[in-house]
Structure 1
Amino acid sequence: MFDKPLMIFDCDGVLIDSEVIYLEEEFRVLTSKGVDVDKAWYVGEFMALAQPLWKNKFVNLIKERAGVDLTVDEFEAMKALTRERIAAEIKTVNGVEDMLSALRVPACVASTTQMQFLPKKLNRTNLAQYFGEGVYSGDMVQNGKPAPDLFLYAADQMGGTVKNAIVIEDSVNGVRGGKAAGIYTIGFTGGSHCFDGHDEILKAAGADVVLPSHSALLEWLSVNTNALT
């Protein structure tokens, strides 16, 4: 049993149901360039990658598959539209408020989202109240997900240890990062972007357990930790 563990949450797809918007806009651009890729493969390879890695990989994918370049203006237009949609359509993942309200242990956010946008997401969804100063972005460390740096940094800043921490992640790259940091990592499939088989992908990436909802997470915590008391 975990004794008063530090809870480390990814943001998009775990706390905020925004990954579906990112994927829709990215696939819109891929389709416009004549690139047809398997969604499961793309999600596993691209989701939650550190921003510089993701951009290079995305641009290279279009070049390799379609033989055309994605211009700087096209890339920035995609990012701008995505940000507009996030601001207008943002909502929490079902049950997250009940789960966070029940926690009686320290909790923080460790997200690939750039720091200039991450607090805004949490404020818009009224989730910032649960984390205080414990909000950490991939641009705070040298190597983002799937490297362990962000999780190690978050644990250190929160005064916790990797042996008594739990990471909640919805992406392959996030799970890999959590496990590389030596932290017990729960795969989460409660976001609307998750598809049939996403749980198996997270298990294959190394997730210690995969849970389908925040209510299931609460039940798991009640059995395996004293995080709720």
Structure 2
Amino acid sequence: MTRAKTKPLLIFDFDGVLVDSEAIYIKVEIEFLGQLGVVVDRDWYVLNFMALAQDEWRRRYGELVLRETGQPLSDAQFEEMKSQSRQLVLDGLKPVEGAPEMLEKLELERCVASSTRLFFLHRKLNQVGFARFFGNGIYSGDMVEHGKPAPDLFLHAAKAMGREGETCIVVEDSANGVRGGKAAGFFVIGFTGGSHCGERHDDMLVDAGADMILASHRDLTDWLNNEYPAG
């Protein structure tokens, strides 16, 4: 008799995995750099900046501007850019293809662990109607001292869900998120179903340590059904 596998806790990143917002963030942030005279390669920017903890992202973004222009990034400039990106995200926010269907069918316990500020994370979840899938299982980088790529947020989410030390699967679309999930000791699926994922995105996630790559929510559903069948 084959022993049934322990049902895992699924820990989802939000932006770029459940909602297709990363392309908007990346476009605004790179264009803003361009306005300041800073030209960056998109793939390099995605690898190094995407999904960083908010404070760390602000610090590195400012350092990049100072290094390339010799001028510090003012708080007013930063807030102007963030305000613009938030509004554009809210105006264009939509689920990643297949995400609603995947969540409707998902029988495994799940939560969200995102670098997004908690107030804005809740707003986005409510806007796309996903809050009902997660209940109280919504965790932000605001809740820990060190956000992604540190493991703290994933460990906090697992502990809060009562699954500390148990089987957890992280679904991430960023190298920084993958690194955080692996540092937490979890199995990490690199997800490439968002519109921001280019031809080399899967390679970037593999290089960061992803245990496997899935290109769509249908693929994720099929894999989960095969690995953890109902019953």
TM category (shorter chain) comes to: over 0.9
1:206 CA displacement: 0.2
Residues 117, 137 of structure 1: CA spacing in aligned structure 2 closer, same or farther, 3 A cutoff?
Answer: same
State whether structure 2 residue 73 is matched by structure 1 residue 70: yes
Question: Relative to structure 2, which stretch is displaced further, 123-132 or 28-37?
Answer: 28-37
In 2, Cα distance between equivalents of 1:69 and 1:144: 24
Question: For 2:189, which of 181, 186, 190 is the aligned residue?
Answer: 186
In 2, Cα distance between equivalents of 1:14 and 1:57: 24
State whether structure 2 residue 71 is matched by structure 1 residue 46: no
The code of the aligned residue for 1:159 comes to: G
1:101 CA displacement: 1.1
CA deviation profile, 1:77-107 (whole Å, cap 9, x unmatched):
0001111111111100000011111111211
Question: For 1:33, which of 28, 31, 36 is the aligned residue?
Answer: 36
State whether structure 2 residue 225 is matched by structure 1 residue 216: no
In 2, Cα distance between equivalents of 1:180 and 1:2: 23
Contact 1:2–1:164 at 8 Å: present in 2 too? no
- Tell me: higher relative CO, structure 1 or 2? Use CA pairs within 8 A at least 6 residues apart: 1
In 2, Cα distance between equivalents of 1:174 and 1:88: 25
Residues 96, 69 of structure 1: CA spacing in aligned structure 2 closer, same or farther, 3 A cutoff?
Answer: same
Question: Relative to structure 2, which stretch is displaced further, 116-125 or 29-38?
Answer: 29-38
Question: For 2:161, which of 158, 163, 168 is the aligned residue?
Answer: 158
Count residues in correspondence. Answer: 228
Contact 1:163–1:183 at 8 Å: present in 2 too? no
In 2, Cα distance between equivalents of 1:2 and 1:37: 45
State whether structure 2 residue 141 is matched by structure 1 residue 134: no
In 1, Cα distance between equivalents of 2:216 and 2:165: 24
CA deviation profile, 1:166-206 (whole Å, cap 9, x unmatched):
00000001000000000000000111111110000000000
1:2 CA displacement: 4.5
1:71 CA displacement: 1.7
CA deviation profile, 1:30-70 (whole Å, cap 9, x unmatched):
11111111111111111111111100100111111222222
Identity in percent:
50
TM-score norm. by structure 1 comes to 0.96
Aligned CA RMSD, in angstroms, stands at 1.2
Residues 189, 162 of structure 1: CA spacing in aligned structure 2 closer, same or farther, 3 A cutoff?
Answer: farther
Question: For 1:205, which of 202, 205, 208 is the aligned residue?
Answer: 208
Contact 1:162–1:183 at 8 Å: present in 2 too? no
Question: Relative to structure 2, which stretch is displaced further, 173-182 or 81-90?
Answer: 81-90
TM-score norm. by structure 2 comes to 0.95
Residues 162, 206 of structure 1: CA spacing in aligned structure 2 closer, same or farther, 3 A cutoff?
Answer: farther
